[in-house]
Amino acid sequence: AAVTDAVRKLLQLRMRFIPYLYSAFNEYRTTGKPPIRALVLDWPDDASVRQIDDEFMFGDCVLVAPMFAGQSRRDIYLPAGDWFDFWTHAKISGGKTITAANGTGQIPLFVKSGALLPLAAPVEFIGPHTCFDITVNIVGNPPADFTLYEDDGVSTAYAKGEQNQLHLHAGA
Protein backbone atom coordinates (compact mmCIF):
# COMPACT_ATOMS: atom_id res chain seq x y z
CA ALA A 1 0.00 0.00 0.00
CA ALA A 2 2.87 2.38 0.81
CA VAL A 3 4.44 1.84 -2.62
CA THR A 4 1.06 2.33 -4.32
CA ASP A 5 0.54 5.61 -2.46
CA ALA A 6 4.05 6.83 -3.35
CA VAL A 7 3.55 6.03 -7.04
CA ARG A 8 0.11 7.66 -7.01
CA LYS A 9 1.56 10.87 -5.51
CA LEU A 10 4.36 10.94 -8.08
CA LEU A 11 1.92 10.48 -10.97
CA GLN A 12 -0.37 13.17 -9.57
CA LEU A 13 2.60 15.54 -9.33
CA ARG A 14 3.45 14.83 -12.97
CA MET A 15 -0.12 15.53 -14.04
CA ARG A 16 -0.17 18.82 -12.10
CA PHE A 17 2.78 20.07 -14.14
CA ILE A 18 1.35 19.15 -17.59
CA PRO A 19 0.19 22.69 -18.58
CA TYR A 20 3.50 24.21 -17.44
CA LEU A 21 5.55 21.56 -19.20
CA TYR A 22 3.43 21.75 -22.34
CA SER A 23 4.29 25.45 -22.57
CA ALA A 24 7.98 24.64 -22.04
CA PHE A 25 7.86 22.11 -24.89
CA ASN A 26 6.16 24.69 -27.11
CA GLU A 27 9.04 27.06 -26.39
CA TYR A 28 11.45 24.27 -27.33
CA ARG A 29 9.62 23.78 -30.63
CA THR A 30 9.72 27.49 -31.46
CA THR A 31 13.11 28.58 -30.02
CA GLY A 32 15.12 25.40 -29.44
CA LYS A 33 15.42 26.03 -25.67
CA PRO A 34 15.25 22.58 -24.01
CA PRO A 35 12.46 22.20 -21.44
CA ILE A 36 14.69 20.01 -19.26
CA ARG A 37 18.26 21.27 -19.14
CA ALA A 38 21.49 21.58 -17.21
CA LEU A 39 21.77 24.59 -14.90
CA VAL A 40 24.73 25.93 -16.88
CA LEU A 41 22.40 26.83 -19.77
CA ASP A 42 20.56 29.33 -17.55
CA TRP A 43 23.59 30.47 -15.50
CA PRO A 44 26.58 30.30 -17.89
CA ASP A 45 28.64 32.74 -15.79
CA ASP A 46 28.20 30.83 -12.52
CA ALA A 47 31.25 28.58 -12.13
CA SER A 48 29.44 26.56 -9.41
CA VAL A 49 26.93 25.08 -11.86
CA ARG A 50 29.45 23.83 -14.43
CA GLN A 51 30.03 20.47 -12.76
CA ILE A 52 26.51 19.85 -11.43
CA ASP A 53 25.00 16.78 -13.08
CA ASP A 54 22.37 15.81 -10.52
CA GLU A 55 20.14 18.91 -10.67
CA PHE A 56 18.30 20.35 -13.64
CA MET A 57 15.91 23.06 -14.73
CA PHE A 58 12.39 21.94 -15.54
CA GLY A 59 11.10 24.76 -17.73
CA ASP A 60 12.18 28.31 -16.95
CA CYS A 61 11.44 28.47 -13.26
CA VAL A 62 11.58 25.06 -11.54
CA LEU A 63 14.83 23.52 -10.33
CA VAL A 64 14.69 19.78 -9.66
CA ALA A 65 17.19 17.99 -7.41
CA PRO A 66 16.26 14.28 -7.31
CA MET A 67 16.87 12.12 -4.30
CA PHE A 68 18.49 8.80 -5.09
CA ALA A 69 17.93 5.36 -3.58
CA GLY A 70 19.09 5.26 0.01
CA GLN A 71 19.39 9.04 0.38
CA SER A 72 17.51 10.75 3.18
CA ARG A 73 19.20 14.12 2.56
CA ARG A 74 21.35 15.78 -0.06
CA ASP A 75 23.18 18.99 -0.84
CA ILE A 76 21.61 21.25 -3.45
CA TYR A 77 23.16 24.27 -5.07
CA LEU A 78 20.70 27.09 -5.78
CA PRO A 79 21.96 29.71 -8.27
CA ALA A 80 21.80 33.43 -7.39
CA GLY A 81 18.41 34.96 -6.70
CA ASP A 82 15.53 34.06 -4.47
CA TRP A 83 13.99 30.59 -4.60
CA PHE A 84 10.94 29.07 -2.96
CA ASP A 85 10.67 25.48 -1.79
CA PHE A 86 7.80 24.01 -3.81
CA TRP A 87 6.50 22.00 -0.85
CA THR A 88 6.88 24.38 2.08
CA HIS A 89 6.88 27.72 0.21
CA ALA A 90 9.87 28.77 2.32
CA LYS A 91 11.95 31.53 0.72
CA ILE A 92 15.64 30.69 0.25
CA SER A 93 18.37 33.03 -0.95
CA GLY A 94 20.39 31.46 -3.74
CA GLY A 95 24.05 31.59 -4.68
CA LYS A 96 24.78 28.87 -2.13
CA THR A 97 24.44 25.20 -1.28
CA ILE A 98 21.68 24.06 1.03
CA THR A 99 20.82 20.66 2.48
CA ALA A 100 17.44 19.12 1.74
CA ALA A 101 16.06 16.28 3.84
CA ASN A 102 12.95 15.50 1.79
CA GLY A 103 13.62 11.77 1.51
CA THR A 104 12.79 9.75 -1.59
CA GLY A 105 9.03 10.30 -1.21
CA GLN A 106 9.19 14.00 -2.02
CA ILE A 107 11.42 15.28 -4.81
CA PRO A 108 13.20 18.52 -3.85
CA LEU A 109 11.73 21.21 -6.12
CA PHE A 110 12.55 24.90 -6.03
CA VAL A 111 10.72 27.68 -7.88
CA LYS A 112 12.54 30.82 -8.99
CA SER A 113 11.18 34.01 -7.53
CA GLY A 114 9.19 36.08 -9.99
CA ALA A 115 7.30 33.21 -11.59
CA LEU A 116 3.74 32.54 -12.56
CA LEU A 117 3.45 28.77 -12.19
CA PRO A 118 0.32 27.20 -13.72
CA LEU A 119 -0.52 23.87 -12.09
CA ALA A 120 -3.47 21.63 -12.91
CA ALA A 121 -5.65 19.54 -10.66
CA PRO A 122 -4.44 15.98 -11.34
CA VAL A 123 -6.39 13.86 -13.82
CA GLU A 124 -6.07 10.11 -14.36
CA PHE A 125 -5.27 10.43 -18.06
CA ILE A 126 -5.32 12.95 -20.87
CA GLY A 127 -7.73 12.44 -23.73
CA PRO A 128 -9.08 14.55 -26.57
CA HIS A 129 -11.71 16.15 -24.30
CA THR A 130 -9.59 16.68 -21.18
CA CYS A 131 -10.16 20.10 -19.65
CA PHE A 132 -7.62 21.10 -17.02
CA ASP A 133 -8.63 22.88 -13.83
CA ILE A 134 -5.62 25.22 -13.56
CA THR A 135 -4.45 27.31 -10.64
CA VAL A 136 -1.83 29.94 -11.41
CA ASN A 137 0.57 30.32 -8.50
CA ILE A 138 2.35 33.64 -8.00
CA VAL A 139 5.83 32.89 -6.72
CA GLY A 140 7.85 35.81 -5.39
CA ASN A 141 7.74 39.33 -6.65
CA PRO A 142 7.32 40.74 -9.25
CA PRO A 143 6.00 37.81 -11.27
CA ALA A 144 6.97 37.62 -14.93
CA ASP A 145 4.28 37.06 -17.53
CA PHE A 146 3.68 33.50 -18.69
CA THR A 147 2.14 32.21 -21.92
CA LEU A 148 0.06 29.08 -21.56
CA TYR A 149 -0.41 27.12 -24.79
CA GLU A 150 -3.32 24.88 -25.75
CA ASP A 151 -4.07 22.92 -28.89
CA ASP A 152 -6.47 20.20 -29.97
CA GLY A 153 -4.26 17.49 -28.45
CA VAL A 154 -4.72 15.23 -31.45
CA SER A 155 -3.34 16.72 -34.66
CA THR A 156 -0.16 18.54 -35.67
CA ALA A 157 -2.09 21.72 -36.48
CA TYR A 158 -0.18 23.47 -33.68
CA ALA A 159 2.88 23.47 -35.98
CA LYS A 160 0.96 25.82 -38.28
CA GLY A 161 0.08 28.10 -35.39
CA GLU A 162 -3.36 26.62 -34.69
CA GLN A 163 -3.28 26.88 -30.93
CA ASN A 164 -4.59 29.07 -28.17
CA GLN A 165 -2.16 31.29 -26.36
CA LEU A 166 -3.30 32.49 -22.97
CA HIS A 167 -1.12 35.35 -21.78
CA LEU A 168 -1.01 35.29 -17.98
CA HIS A 169 -0.17 38.52 -16.18
CA ALA A 170 -0.39 39.40 -12.50
CA GLY A 171 -1.20 43.08 -12.16
CA ALA A 172 -0.13 45.29 -9.30
Neighbours of 24 (CB within 10 A): 23
What pTM was computed for the model? 0.89
Of all residues in the chain, the percent with pLDDT exceeding 70 is 98
Whether 49 and 43 have beta carbons less than 8 Å apart is answered as yes
Angle at 132 between CA 35 and CA 165, to 5 degrees: 60
Alpha-helical (H) ranges within the chain are: 2-16, 18-31
Longest dimension (CA), the chain: 47
- Better pLDDT: 82 or 125: 82
* pLDDT for 104 beyond 70: no
Element (H, E) at 127: none
pLDDT, one tens digit per residue, over 143-160 is 899 999 887 777 888 888
